[in-house]
């Protein structure tokens, strides 16, 4: 039974009254709905499907009764009413868990813009009916595990399986914020159409949670299974025991309410479905749907003390109040028919804004004021030195000198784990701690920290992890309980720990050596020469390509390899000759494969950065553009919420290490194309990654926001790898928008066309001033302030006592333009494509650069 138009239609199963298909003429081959053909989970073979509902009814005497449409087939009637399809449950079901307490009438109807699915609940009794759960099963075409099950790690990473995942499945982007809620569904390929789903104008979404918890979890490679989206969850919270063992009395962010239906009364709840050409249309789609739309500039996460602009679209005027303490809210002049509010966040932590429309709460916005990024990044390095190096010669596994994860619950190094890779000194959770420390000191050197890096290298890395002659890298040194018959795959035997063919480890170790090379080249005291570290870098990387199992796939933090290759071309002919053929072969592979984005987890986000840079170097502009759309699709929900906005989609896991890594890709995409959506999503993800940082310099792990799993993991997990990526990605951008000049990663004050810019993203080495056409990249030194005008750029550096190396180019070079340094005593000035490079500049001075000979930015 079909309802809808070619723009969007559903097929309703006459037996179950649920959706068996949802498609659009914009891409007729794309199935949005989950069904028996594309969903392999055994527990779903008889539903629930899209259109099924779940209820919990209060019976009194501390009892709730679960009632399900899936269990009510004995009373279900599916009929036509003109062009509509009506699914009715008009009398009590005799089945266990069937609908017994009320009459339920569902209706699918369509118009030229989309579909509406409404449910009317009628209370036939003489007493009040309390519905403590009202939830709709959103079983969409999101069974990823069924594609890759029982396939090898190599087969999963490229080729046909990746094509199926990118073209024949959809990703879900949820925003749960009362009447401002919505969901977007889009192919991982990143193209049209995008399915927009929201509550009808007076409706609300309170929570979302797994239908079957046994299908998957945040630790599984497929993340999580299908979800209920719920308007009322009072009973669900109590019956499912959400947070009962950790935060027993805590309610969910949107509350946990019940629906009260008076005697012989009724209530309605509905959903609106429509297709969009692009996710950027979600703001207007919300307004069209009678909801309140919100955008936060520059993003919902900024350092404490900074001010954001909250842009609100609504059919009726709104008011804004604070649910948090000490927020400063000022309404500004409207812009293009939208209300604009300035909100200052004076202290660190989550901040909540309430937006009211027509006297009702329309939506709740979650912001986050982070600790100062500059301070946090430097303190984290010292935290590592003081608290995360394991100095224990008696350790039975030989981890003396290693860096290990940190548990902030007990304020101690984390030394034991069921998953041996986590505490074995190698891999993303342990070794990347040293990577961060090295990359930080390549940019901001501290001799005592550099001494610790060399100590780590000599006492642990080249003694226990990596053979100093062959450079083969062990999986780790920590072992599991090998004597137990119940031993799991992650509990390593000695043979497991000695395995040396993990490609990713070679990429991570080479990044560490590359940073040490830069430290030594800049004159710091090190135990080896710069040439020695450089040799270790390329030899390690080459070995990874020779023996690594997944070398055809991208690795975490792998983008630096192409930068290293360019360096070798000038600094080490032997290294260049050894590495270049491997990267060329890798480049040929990603150019030939439409979806070369798989990795060890096959649908996560770790490969995308290396793939994009490989396509830029070896492929065409079209191939790189497609990669940008795939990266964008992972975070394209545009949710005005600090842990979702610009964050790669990974089920309930937010703020893991790929987010800043892929922000760098989207930053490059903005610079290449001028697309502001790339910039917004890139900066949003980057700035939110400061939220796990603590004032003492420690870093927590992932953030999860589901009703039964809430908050940061108190262990550091792989946050160091994310912070390594942050150091390489962070950049300030100054862009003109409808509301005025906006600083992404910086504070901007503009007078008479001149920008006075103070960076706050923490690295403070790179800046793009879009309207004036300046692009700054300081490889040594730190920018304190910039004054930008169309023909003159003034850069003031932090006076750290050391020299500054900086490159200034034009954002869009003009052949008739010349850049000239007014004065730079003692510095070496040389031309580069599109600009100039200044090396050895005295940081105590102000660098002034003129644009001459015409040419507009």
3-state helix, strand, coil in the chain (%, to 5): 25, 30, 40
Residue-level pLDDT at 250: 85
Question: What is the distance, to the nearest Å, from the Cα of residue 154 to the centroid of all Cα atoms in its chain?
Answer: 25
Could you report the per-residue pLDDT of 241-300, keeping only the tens digit for each? 999 888 888 888 899 999 999 999 999 999 999 999 999 999 999 999 999 999 999 999
* Spatial distance between the Cα atoms of 467 and 503, rounded to a whole number of angstroms: 16
Q: Alpha helices, DSSP H only, in 780-833? A: none
On whether the CB atoms of residues 567 and 617 are closer than 8 A, the answer is no
Average pLDDT for the chain: 94
Count the residues in the chain: 857
Q: Is the pLDDT of residue 501 over 90?
A: yes
Residue appearing with tokens 């072992």: 479
Q: Measuring CA to CA, how many Å separate 584 from each of 546, 578, 590?
A: 14, 11, 10
Query: What are 747-756's contacts with CB under 8 Å, separation 24+?
Result: 747/306, 753/789, 753/790, 754/787, 754/788, 754/789, 755/786, 755/787, 755/788, 755/789, 756/785, 756/786, 756/787
Q: Is the pLDDT of residue 221 over 70?
A: no
Which 3 state secondary structure label does DSSP give 230? Answer: strand
Residue-level pLDDT at 810: 96
Residue-level pLDDT at 857: 42
Average pLDDT (436-455) is 97
Average pLDDT (187-196) is 96
On whether the CB atoms of residues 735 and 676 are closer than 8 A, the answer is yes
Residue-level pLDDT at 854: 57
DSSP state of 372: P
**Binning pLDDT at 50, 70 and 90, where does residue 855 land?**
very low
Could you report the per-residue pLDDT of 740-783, keeping only the tens digit for each? 999 999 999 999 999 999 999 999 999 999 999 999 999 989 99
Share of the chain above pLDDT 70, in %: 99
* Spatial distance between the Cα atoms of 737 and 690, rounded to a whole number of angstroms: 25
Could you report the per-residue pLDDT of 369-381, keeping only the tens digit for each? 999 999 999 999 9
Q: Which residues contact 30 (CB under 8 A, 6 or more apart)?
A: 23, 24, 167, 168, 170, 187, 193
Strand 766-769 to strand 732-737: parallel, antiparallel, or no bridges (unpaired)?
A: parallel
Name the residue with higher pLDDT: 801 or 138: 138
* DSSP codes joined into one string, 707-767: TTEEEE-SB-TTHHHHHHHHHHH--EEEEEETTEEEEESEEEEEETTEEEEEE-SSS--EE
Residue appearing with tokens 């690594």: 548
Residue-level pLDDT at 202: 82
Backbone dihedral region of 264: left (phi > 0), alpha (psi from -120 to 50 degrees) or beta? Answer: left
Share of the chain above pLDDT 90, in %: 86
* Spatial distance between the Cα atoms of 288 and 281, rounded to a whole number of angstroms: 11
Residue-level pLDDT at 46: 86
Residue-level pLDDT at 224: 78
On whether the CB atoms of residues 524 and 558 are closer than 8 A, the answer is no
Residue-level pLDDT at 218: 66
* Spatial distance between the Cα atoms of 645 and 265, rounded to a whole number of angstroms: 40
Could you report the per-residue pLDDT of 130-154, keeping only the tens digit for each? 999 999 999 999 998 888 888 888 8
Residue-level pLDDT at 217: 72
Question: What is the distance, to the nearest Å, from the Cα of residue 82 to the centroid of all Cα atoms in its chain?
Answer: 45
Residue-level pLDDT at 238: 95
User: Taking Cα atoms as reference points, which of 529, 509, 510 lies closest to residue 519?
Assistant: 529
User: Taking Cα atoms as reference points, which of 345, 366, 299 lies closest to residue 710?
Assistant: 366
Phi, psi of 659 (to 5 degrees): -60, -55
Q: Residue 298: is the preceding peptide bond cis (ω within 30°)?
A: yes
User: Taking Cα atoms as reference points, which of 243, 238, 240, 269 lies closest to residue 256?
Assistant: 238
**Binning pLDDT at 50, 70 and 90, where does residue 612 land?**
very high
């Amino acid at each position: 039974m079909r309802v809808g138009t070619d723009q969007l239609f559903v097929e309703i199963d006459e037996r179950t009254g649920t959706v068996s298909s949802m498609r659009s003429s914009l891409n007729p081959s794309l199935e949005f709905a989950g069904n028996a053909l594309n969903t392999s989970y055994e527990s779903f073979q008889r539903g629930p499907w899209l259109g099924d509902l779940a209820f919990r009814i209060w019976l009194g005497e501390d009892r709730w009764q679960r009632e399900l449409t899936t269990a009510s087939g004995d009373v279900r009637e599916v009929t036509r009413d003109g062009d509509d399809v009506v699914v009715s449950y008009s009398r009590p079901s005799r089945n266990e868990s069937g609908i017994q307490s009320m009459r339920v009438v569902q209706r699918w109807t369509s118009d030229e813009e989309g579909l509406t699915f409404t449910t009317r609940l009628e209370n036939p009794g003489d007493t009040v009916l309390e519905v403590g759960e009202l939830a709709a099963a959103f079983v969409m075409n999101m069974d990823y595990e069924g594609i890759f099950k029982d396939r090898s790690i190599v087969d999963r990473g490229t080729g046909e399986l990746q094509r199926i995942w990118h073209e024949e499945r959809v990703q879900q982007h949820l925003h749960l914020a009362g009447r401002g809620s919505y969901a977007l569904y889009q192919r991982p390929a990143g193209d049209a159409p995008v399915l927009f789903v929201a509550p009808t104008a007076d409706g609300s979404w309170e929570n979302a949670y797994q239908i079957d918890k046994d299908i998957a979890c945040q630790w599984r490679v497929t993340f999580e299974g299908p979800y209920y989206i719920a308007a009322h969850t009072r009973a669900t919270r109590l019956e499912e025991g959400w947070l009962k063992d950790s935060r027993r009395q805590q309610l969910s962010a949107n509350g946990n309410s019940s629906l009260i239906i008076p005697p012989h009364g009724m209530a309605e709840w509905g959903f609106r479905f429509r297709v969009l050409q692009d996710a950027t249309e979600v703001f207007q789609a919300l307004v069209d749907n009678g909801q309140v739309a919100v955008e936060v500039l520059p993003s919902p996460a900024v350092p404490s003390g900074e001010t954001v602009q909250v842009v609100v679209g609504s059919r009726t005027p709104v008011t804004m109040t604070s649910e948090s303490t000490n927020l400063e809210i000022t309404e500004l002049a409207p812009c293009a028919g939208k209300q604009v509010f300035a909100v200052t966040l004076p202290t660190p932590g989550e901040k909540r804004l309430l937006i009211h429309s027509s006297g009702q709460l329309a939506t709740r916005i979650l912001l986050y004021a982070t600790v100062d990024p500059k301070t946090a990044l430097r303190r984290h390095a010292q935290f590592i030195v003081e608290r995360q190096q394991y100095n224990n010669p008696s350790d039975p596994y030989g981890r003396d000198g290693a860096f290990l994860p940190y548990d902030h619950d007990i304020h101690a190094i984390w030394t034991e784990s069921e998953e041996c890779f986590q505490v074995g000194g190698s891999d993303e959770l342990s070794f990347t701690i040293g990577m961060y420390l090295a990359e930080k000191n390549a940019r901001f050197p501290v001799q005592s920290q550099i001494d610790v890096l060399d100590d780590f290298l000599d006492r642990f890395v080249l003694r226990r992890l990596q053979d100093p002659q062959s450079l083969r890298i062990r999986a780790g040194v920590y072992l599991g309980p090998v004597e137990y018959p119940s031993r799991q795959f992650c509990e390593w035997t000695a043979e497991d720990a000695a395995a040396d063919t993990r490609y990713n480890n070679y990429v991570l170790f080479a990044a560490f050596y590359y940073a040490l090379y830069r430290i030594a080249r800049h004159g710091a005291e090190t135990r080896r020469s710069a040439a020695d570290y450089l040799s270790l870098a390329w030899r390690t990387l080459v070995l990874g390509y020779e023996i690594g199992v997944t070398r055809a796939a991208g690795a975490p933090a792998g983008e630096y390899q192409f930068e290293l290759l360019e360096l070798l071309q000038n600094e080490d002919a032997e290294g260049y000759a050894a590495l270049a053929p491997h990267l060329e072969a890798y480049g040929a592979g990603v150019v030939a494969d439409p979806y070369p984005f798989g990795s060890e987890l096959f649908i996560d986000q770790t490969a995308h950065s290396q793939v994009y840079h490989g396509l830029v170097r070896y492929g065409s502009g079209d191939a790189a553009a497609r990669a940008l759309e795939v990266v964008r699709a992972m975070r394209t929900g545009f949710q005005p919420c600090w842990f979702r906005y610009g964050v790669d989609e990974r089920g309930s896991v937010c703020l893991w290490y790929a987010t800043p890594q892929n922000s760098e890709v989207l930053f490059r995409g903005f610079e290449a194309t001028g697309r502001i959506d790339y910039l917004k999503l890139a900066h949003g993800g980057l700035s939110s990654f400061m939220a796990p940082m603590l004032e003492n310099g420690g870093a927590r792990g992932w953030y999860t926001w589901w009703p039964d799993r809430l908050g940061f993991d108190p262990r550091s997990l792989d946050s160091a790898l994310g912070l390594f990526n942050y150091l390489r990605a962070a950049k300030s951008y100054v862009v003109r928008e409808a509301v005025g000049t906006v600083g992404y990663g910086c504070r901007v004050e503009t007078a008479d066309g001149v920008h006075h810019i103070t960076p706050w993203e923490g690295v403070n080495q790179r800046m793009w001033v879009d309207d004036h056409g300046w692009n700054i990249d300081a490889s040594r030194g730190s920018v304190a302030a910039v004054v930008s005008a169309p023909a003159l750029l003034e850069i003031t550096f932090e006076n750290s006592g050391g020299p500054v190396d900086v490159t200034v180019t034009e954002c869009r070079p003009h052949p008739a333009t010349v850049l000239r340094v007014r004065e730079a005593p003692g510095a070496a000035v040389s031309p580069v494509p599109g600009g100039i490079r200044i090396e050895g500049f005295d940081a105590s001075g102000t660098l002034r650069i003129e644009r001459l000979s015409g040419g507009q930015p």
